[in-house]
Structure formats: C-alpha cells, structure tokens
Amino acid sequence: MDNVFVKAKGPRKKPYFKIVSDHTLFERVDLSVCSLVPYAPDHNLDEDSWFSLSEFSKREYCLSFLKDEFDSKNYDELPKKYFAKIAFIFSLQSGDFYFQKVTPSLYLKKKTIALGDSAEIESGKNRLVINQIPDAVYLTTKDTLIFKSLSTISSMFNGIDTLYKEATEQEVEQFLNEAFISLSDEYKACNVSKPNRKRIALAIDTLNQMDEIDRGNMLTYINDYCSGKLKFDDDSGCFEISGDEELKYLLYGIEERYYTTRFGNEKRLANSIQKL
C-alpha cells in the first residue's frame, strides 16, 4: 500500500507523520528511459538524467527511517496544527521513497473554480502544491538516492551539502596567494563570489595532486586558451587577476575545461564534466 508522509517543523522526538493513506503521489520514475550519473559537483545534468549516490544507507546524512524496515503503522496522523509547518513530503511507493521539499510558495489559498462533474466555487481552502517530478527518490533495493539538485535536497538530508563544499575564507586567501596569481589592489578574498568559492574548493584538491612540472604545464595550457581574457606575465609566471570573471577563467583552466575539437580544430570550454 502506498502512503504519504511528512516531516513537520516543531516536534523533535517524533517529527514524521502520515498525511494520506493508500495513495500514489508521484508518477514512477522510469529508470529505463533516464540515465543515472554518479554525483559530481562540476557536472550539469541533461534533462533525462539524475545524479545518484550509491550505498546511501551507509552515509551519515541518510535519514534514519531509510536504514530500517519501514512500517507505516508506526506513524501518527499529522495534527492540523502542523498543516502549515511541513518541511518536506515523502511518499512510499512500491517500496521506494519519493521526496519533495516544501517551501512557502507551494502553499496556496485562493478562490478557485473546481471543474468536476459540475463547476463549483471553492474558497478559503489551504492547498499544498505537489510538483510533477520529485526532488529525490530513494531506490530501496539499489540502496541509491537519485536527485536533480543538491542544493534543493540539502535541507531534507542534513549534511549532504558537504559533497559540494564551499572554500572557507582562509582557503580562499591561501589560494589567492598562490605563486602563479597576482592580484590587483582592488580585488581581495572578500570580493570572491560564492560560485568561485565552490570552484576554488575543487581547484585546491586538483592542485594538491600536481607536481611542479604539471603546474608549469598547467600555466602554459591556460595561457594558450585564455590569452585574450587573462594577462600572463612571462617573467613572473603570474596571471593578473583583477575581478571575479578573470578568476573564473583561471579556475576553469585548473580543472582543464578548455579543449580543441579533433576535426573542426575549434577551441571550446566544457560547461560540464563527466568522467568516462
């Protein structure tokens, strides 16, 4: 039997409740017509793809009820006082768990015309909108969580956002002090945007795996592709960075996102990366 549950904001000991019984809330995600991509922060999903996290029950941010045998009889009905305090919905469907984050914009209280056997005016009813596609699905038999956006599900799975960490202020400052970077007087760590802080976190890991020879080749590679966008001083071996846009091009270079097509000999920037 398919049932719908919620996590309510407020109660700490027992925050999960049943809200609808014997109902299938979402259309089944057909894995035969979509591809699962192991999560990588620098990959942009195609429309028919989902990120995946395998062995999810072993991860520290896995919800406790996903680790044990689930029994819907252990969950009380949602009290009316919590109707407007729903954090997220999850629907148990054919053994899998479908999740949707609930935001204030999904609550509707408008006068509507209900078109059933006859047209009727309805007003004063609170409605909670259910999206066509769930934000995440836990595939029980595969022990795998699939999702579209990490930022969307981070409030449901506490700690999962560590998969795409943002560089700390200290890490940003240390990166900007790298020997191959020369900053203008106006541009400092506090000016670095959030997207670039995330790219810096990736770049730090990449640089830690490079020896001096690879670093030298990296600078040549970046200069070959970005000579029109970045200023490189041959004498000092430094790229001049005076703004967030220039820093972005440098970070793309560290991650080797620039390439030349084999047959057209066209220089391009890879907007997304997936390991083969």
> In order along the chain (276 residues), what is the average pLDDT of each group of 10 residues?
94 93 94 92 90 97 95 94 96 97 90 84 84 97 97 96 90 96 90 94 95 96 95 94 96 96 95 82
Burial string for 83-93 (b: 16+ CB within 10 Å, else e) reads eeebbbbbbbb
- Give the integer Cα–Cα distance in Å for 88 and 152: 11
In this prediction, residue 108 carries a pLDDT of 85
| Structural contact between residues 225 and 267, judged by C-beta atoms closer than 8 angstroms | yes
In this prediction, residue 232 carries a pLDDT of 95
In this prediction, residue 160 carries a pLDDT of 96
In this prediction, residue 264 carries a pLDDT of 95
In this prediction, residue 253 carries a pLDDT of 97
CB atoms within 10 A of CB 20: 16
In this prediction, residue 271 carries a pLDDT of 86
Residue 131: both structure tokens together: 């999206």
In this prediction, residue 80 carries a pLDDT of 93
Q: Where are the alpha helices (DSSP H) in 115-243?
A: 150-153, 169-176, 194-208, 212-226
In this prediction, residue 115 carries a pLDDT of 86
Element (H, E) at 53: strand 49-53
In this prediction, residue 42 carries a pLDDT of 84
Residue 45: both structure tokens together: 């999903």
CA distances from 128 to 26, 87, 100, 102, 109 (A): 14, 12, 11, 8, 9
